[in-house]
Amino acid sequence: RLLEAGRTLETPAMVICAATLPGQQSIVANLGTLEAAAADLPGDAPATLVVGAVVGLAEAAYAIALPAAIHHFAANGVEYVE
């Protein structure tokens, strides 16, 4: 439907699976490669699809927030494992 509505195969997309849960996983692709990229995500967990330029903002925020989160966890005796 997104392609029928005018989105292109190059449109950025992100799938966030099991958001906020310990097993959270996410992938970033574009609409043309999304199906193949998401093939290894668990099929039984709820997922959120993010489409468009906002995907780039999520990647930038993650790059900034992750080091801060790791520092916070370490300061509180929690080891971050990726």
Residue written as token pair 């509180």: 76
- Alpha carbons 37 and 16: distance in angstroms, whole number: 12
Own/partner pairs, 2-8, CB within 8 angstroms, 24+ separation: 2/31, 2/51, 3/31, 7/31, 7/51
Residues 6+ apart with CB under 8 A from 7: 31, 51
Local confidence pLDDT in tens for the 82 residues of the chain: 888 999 999 999 999 888 878 788 888 899 999 999 888 888 888 899 999 988 888 777 777 766 776 666 677 676 655 5
Residues 6+ apart with CB under 8 A from 17: 24, 25, 26, 41, 42, 45, 46, 47
